[in-house]
Amino acid sequence: MNTNIVAHENTTMSSFDIAILTGARNSEVVSVAKTLSNKNVIDFSINHLEVMQFDKRNSLVLVANLSPEFTAAVVDRWQELESQQATKPMTQLEMIAGMASSMVEVERKQVEQAKALEDITSKVERLETSDKVLSSCPVNAEGITSICARMNIKYSIPAWAVKEIVRGSYGIRPAGNVQNQHESAKGSTYVVWWVSDITALFKRIAGESERVTATLVTHPTVSKRFKLI
């Protein structure tokens, strides 16, 4: 390997770098880049990590289309890169360190994107499930009887107050309706809510409630004083 290559001769900026500088999502940067490339306005390379890399000219054109107000930030970054890299040849150790740093950043971004996708998928699944009649209660959902028992154990809140809170003005969306399988139920259904939503709701209620006595509190969503310890 030639260790005397001057870094600025091959300096590029990745789509992740541009996303960070402009405050955009990496997917937006990639989409705009592909559109401009299809119009033969810019081109780019793909590195060994399958990440888009842009030279100075193409990155500036990309940012001007993506977010004109942030073009100055990218220009400043290029000047910084060129100033740093033009001072001396990049050693093999520096090249390896740079690649390692880039890989860490790419992995971090991939984790963030995977988490965002997981959150979106979870929200979509919840919306779809809430409109269905389920044959059985999902393992991560619970009915009002279970909620009352759990919140009484955790906060000592009485059942009547639990019901007002769950069905109150905060209006958390149910997980769905479950078919009652008992013969005497005659096909009736009951509502269940996601355990995580219920847990978050009552944590909020506990934090917002105003203490009246050692055991009683008030809250705007509950009709009268209720026990909360």
Tell me, yes or no, whether 163 and 114 share the same domain. no
Q: How many domains does the chain have?
A: 2
Residue 88, domain extent: 7-127
Which one has a higher pLDDT value, 91 or 146?
146
Tell me, yes or no, whether 116 and 179 share the same domain. no
3 state SS for the chain: CCCCCCHHHHCCEEHHHHHHHHCCCHHHHHHHHHHHHHCCCCCCEECCCCCEEECHHHHHHHHHHHCHHHHHHHHHHHHHHHHHHCCCCCCHHHHHHHHHHHHHHHHHHHHHHHHHHHHHHHHHHHHHHHCCEECCCCCCEEEHHHHHHHHHHHHCCCHHHHHHHHCCCCCCCCCEEEECCCHHHCCCEEEEEEHHHHHHHHHHHHHHCEECCCCEEECCCCCCCEECC
pTM assigned to the model: 0.42
Could you tell me what percent of the chain has a pLDDT over 70? Answer: 68
| Domain membership flag for residue 133 | no
Q: Is the pLDDT of residue 157 over 50?
A: yes
| Domain membership flag for residue 14 | yes
Which of 83, 104, 127 represents a domain boundary (last residue)?
127
The rounded mean pLDDT for the chain is: 77
What's the rounded mean pLDDT across residues 2-25? 66
**Residue 111 pLDDT level (bands cut at 50, 70, 90):** confident
Q: What is the pLDDT of residue 90?
A: 60
